[in-house]
């Protein structure tokens, strides 16, 4: 199909090991970028209700000419849909906007613990999975404490937790928790969300040693850790570069040097206080 390996989720569903993030693009830019990305070999496309571009994602998939079954589509819903029936309505809304009758991975976007409805929303997702409306279910920005509640109150672990993660926000504790519970870690803003990570001297040294770009080295770091990064770009050259990270390998020393950039939580978004 293409050169991207697959990661097998706990329920046996295969998910591409790297994908395209689409925030914060509007519908028109998203349509063009998704079409180009699929042409370049991407098969995982990530969107969300909050991005306001699900229609653009659907149009881009249809314009690509690639069979729908080859594309893995992820979307996420906002806190207004936290509830059993509400989560099922969120699915219907996103499916309509995407123009799809099935969503591959549906996520609760933020736990919003002050609302205290994410467990009910999770029960709604479990029902969607049981009804084969979605192929996999998960969460985004959930801490181990939030995940504990899902497990304690429903007995069902998410297949995926999509969290903010890059070499300066390594989330080691969260990753260990995920591994122990069979949850795949997906990284949003994997190359630093427009910050100065890609001009860091350590990243530059490793990139030069491998004759790769800084972004390629950072994305390779994610992949070697077993994470699924979803970098966002609308530039054609960057689309190809970001996908071309499966033909080289970082040494253990490289991995340690990159991990040494960790700021131990400084600068990370706190999902106990932020969410939508």
Q: Answer whether residue 95 is part of any domain.
A: yes
Paired tokens of 4: 């991207």
Q: Answer whether residue 125 is part of any domain.
A: yes
Q: Answer whether residue 73 is part of any domain.
A: yes
Look up 42 and say whether it is catalytic: no
**Smallest Cα–Cα separation from 233: which of 13, 21, 16?**
21
Q: Answer whether residue 269 is part of any domain.
A: no
Q: Answer whether residue 128 is part of any domain.
A: yes
Q: Answer whether residue 201 is part of any domain.
A: no
3-state secondary structure of 261: coil
137, containing H or E segment:
strand 134-140
pLDDT given at position 267: 84
Q: What is the mean pLDDT of each run of 10 residues along the chain (276 residues)?
A: 85 98 94 97 97 98 96 98 98 98 97 97 98 97 98 98 97 97 98 86 97 97 98 91 96 97 90 90
pLDDT given at position 266: 86
Ordered alpha helix ranges (H), the chain: 27-40, 54-64, 84-98, 118-130, 144-154, 172-180, 201-210, 214-224, 236-243, 252-259
pLDDT given at position 1: 37
Q: Which of 42, 51, 118, 177 is catalytic?
A: 51
Q: What is the pLDDT of residues 111-131, one digit of tens each?
A: 999 999 999 999 999 999 999
How far is Cα 268 from Cα 100, in angstroms, rounded to an integer? 34
Q: Answer whether residue 217 is part of any domain.
A: no
Q: Answer whether residue 215 is part of any domain.
A: no
CATH number at residue 169: 3.20.20.100
Q: Per the structure, how many domains does the chain have?
A: 1
Q: Which domain holds residue 129?
A: 6-195+222-235
pTM, 2 dp? 0.96
Paired tokens of 247: 């033909």
Q: What is the pLDDT of residues 134-188, one digit of tens each?
A: 999 999 999 999 999 999 999 999 999 999 999 999 999 999 999 999 999 999 9
Ordered alpha helix ranges (H), 160-251: 172-180, 201-210, 214-224, 236-243
How far is Cα 31 from Cα 53, in angstroms, rounded to an integer? 8
How far is Cα 276 from Cα 70, in angstroms, rounded to an integer? 31
Q: Please, which residues have CB within 8 angstroms of residue 119's CB and are 6 or more apart in sequence?
A: 149, 150, 153, 154
């Amino acid at each position: 199909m293409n050169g991207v390996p697959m990661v097998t989720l706990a329920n046996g569903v295969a998910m591409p090991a790297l994908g395209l993030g689409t925030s914060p693009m509007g519908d028109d830019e998203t349509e063009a970028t998704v079409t180009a990305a699929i042409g370049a070999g991407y098969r995982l496309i990530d969107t969300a209700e909050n991005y306001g571009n699900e229609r653009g994602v659907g149009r881009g998939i249809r314009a690509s000419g690639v069979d729908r079954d080859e594309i893995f589509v992820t979307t996420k819903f906002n806190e207004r849909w936290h509830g059993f029936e509400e989560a099922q309505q969120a699915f219907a809304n996103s499916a309509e906007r995407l123009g799809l009758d099935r969503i591959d991975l549906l996520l609760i976007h933020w736990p919003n613990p002050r609302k205290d409805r994410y467990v009910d929303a999770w029960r709604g997702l479990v029902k969607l999975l049981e009804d084969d409306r979605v192929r996999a279910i998960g969460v985004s920005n959930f801490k181990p404490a939030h995940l504990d509640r899902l497990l304690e109150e429903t007995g069902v672990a998410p297949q995926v937790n999509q969290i903010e993660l890059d070499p300066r926000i390594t989330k080691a504790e969260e990753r260990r928790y995920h591994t122990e519970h069979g949850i795949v870690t997906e990284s949003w803003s994997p190359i630093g969300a427009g910050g100065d990570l890609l001009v860091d001297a350590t990243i530059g040294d490793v990139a030069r040693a491998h004759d790769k770009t800084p972004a390629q080295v950072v994305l390779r770091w994610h992949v070697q850790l077993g994470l699924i990064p979803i970098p966002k770009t609308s530039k054609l050259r960057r689309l190809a570069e970001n996908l071309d990270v499966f033909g080289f390998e970082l040494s253990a020393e490289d991995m340690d040097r990159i991990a040494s950039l960790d700021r131990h939580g400084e600068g990370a978004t706190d999902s106990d206080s932020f969410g939508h």
